[in-house]
Amino acid sequence: MPHLDHKYREFSAPEALQRAIRETNTEINRRGTANADFHNMGTTSSVLVLLPQGALAAHVGDSRIYRLRGNTISQLTFDHSLQWELQASGQLPAGTDVGAVVPKNVITRSLGPNANVQVDLEGPHPIMPGDVYLLCSDGLTGRVEDAEIGAVLSCLPPQEAAQSLVDLANLRGGPDNVTVLVARVTGQELATGAIAAEPLRIGAAGEKASAHPATWIIAAVSLLVAVVLGVIGIANFIPAAVALGIAVISGLVALIQRYGGFGGTVLGRGHMLGRGPYTAVACPPSHELAQKLASTLDELREAARDGNWAIQWKPLDDSCQKAQAADQSGQFADAVRHYCRGISYMMSQLRSQNVRKHEGPDISIHN
C-alpha cells in the first residue's frame, strides 16, 4: 500500500489512498482465484496518514484506529462487522445484548474475497501535540477494553505500550492475531495548522491530464490575431483586446484541464469524510486498573513457580514495589506504568523459557 500510495501521488491524498487499497484488493483477489489453496482468502486493513491538513484514515474490516487525546480514547473507524452494521441500521433495539445475539467475529467487508471493495475514508481529523494513534487488530480489542487501552497508551512510550497491550491480550487467552502499532505526536511540526498547506480535496482528480488540443489551438490563434491586429494600428485596438481576452481565457481553461483545476469538495472543518469518531471513552489511569494489573502479576508469579521457570526476580520485585508505592500515594499513572513493565518483563522471561526448552507452560489469565 505505501508503494501504491506513492504511485498515485499526483492525486489528492484521499483519492491516492483509496486507489492504493483498491489495487491491493485486486491483487489479493487475483491470487486467491488463481490458487485453490488460497480461495476466498482475505484480510482487514486500517491505514493512517498524518498530513499537515490532519489525520486521514482508510479502513476495511474490523481492525481499528484509535486516537488518545488527554484522558479520552476515541475510535476513528467504524467496524465492518455484523454487530456494528445491525446496530447502525437500527435492527437491534437499544439495550439488546448484542454479544448474545450476533457473533462478534462476523465481518461484512475485507480485502481479497471480492474483485471490488468499498473503502471507508475518515477525516481529516485535526492533529494536536501529544495525540497518540493506535492501529490494531481485533485480537487486541476482543480482550482488552478501550479504557484499559487508553490508560496504557497514556502511561508508556509507544514501543512499551505496544508490547504491554500485546502481552495483556495474550495473557487473557488471545486466540487471534494481536497486531498493534502506536504513533505519538511529539512536537508542533505535525500539528494541524503548524505548516501552511493547501486543503485536501476529493472528487477532483489531480492527475496531470492532457488539455483538449482544440483549447490550445484557440488560445494560440487568438493570441496571434491579437498580435497582428495590435501591429496593424490603433484602430484595431478593440478587436485586438477581444482576441487577447479569448487567448487568455482559452489558456486558463487548458491549464485547468491539464492540472486538475480547483474543483471537487474541500475537506476540513466544514466538511469531513466519514462520521467518526464513533466512540469516545474516558480512560484516566485508576486504582482499579492498577489493582487489576497487580492481580495479573500475582497469577504470573504463581504460574512461574508452578512451572519452575528460571526467573531473575529482582527486576520484577523492584517494579512491583514502585507500583505499590505509587498506587498508595495516588500516582495511578506511575502505578500502571510499573505494573505494565513488570508484566512485560515476566512475559519476556516466559518467551526465554520457551526458547530454551522448545516448549513451555500454556498460560491464559482472565481477569
pTM of the model: 0.81
pLDDT score at 222: 78
For 234-270, what is each residue's pLDDT tens digit?
566 777 777 777 877 877 777 766 655 445 688 876 7
pLDDT score at 248: 79
Asked whether 113 and 32 are in contact (CB, 8 A), the reply is yes
Q: Is 191 a residue whose pLDDT tops 50?
A: yes
The answer on 230 and 84 residing in a single domain is no
Q: Is 94 a residue whose pLDDT tops 90?
A: no
In a domain, 140, yes or no: no
* Domain at 72, CATH number: 3.60.40.10
The answer on 335 and 228 residing in a single domain is no
The answer on 230 and 197 residing in a single domain is no
Which amino acid is residue 52, in one-letter code? P
For 348-364, what is each residue's pLDDT tens digit?
998 888 666 655 455 44
The answer on 189 and 66 residing in a single domain is yes
Which residue do the cell numbers 478593440 mark? 238
User: How far apart are the C-alpha atoms of 46 and 65, rounded to whole Å?
Assistant: 7
Q: How many domains in the chain? A: 3
- The predicted model gives 214-235 an average pLDDT of 72
In a domain, 290, yes or no: yes
In a domain, 144, yes or no: no
Lowest average pLDDT, out of 90-94, 135-139, 142-146, 316-320, goes to 90-94
In a domain, 159, yes or no: no
Q: Which residues contact 147 (CB under 8 A, 6 or more apart)?
A: 73, 281, 282, 283, 289
Percent of the chain's residues with pLDDT above 90: 63
CB-based burial label for 350 (10 Å; 0-12, 13-18, 19+): buried
Mean residue pLDDT across the chain: 87
The answer on 341 and 223 residing in a single domain is no
For 156-189, what is each residue's pLDDT tens digit?
999 999 999 999 999 998 877 899 999 999 989 8
The answer on 97 and 33 residing in a single domain is yes
> What are the φ/ψ torsions at residue 93 (nearest 5 degrees)?
-60, 150
The answer on 314 and 232 residing in a single domain is no
Domain span including residue 68? 2-131+185-203
The answer on 71 and 26 residing in a single domain is yes
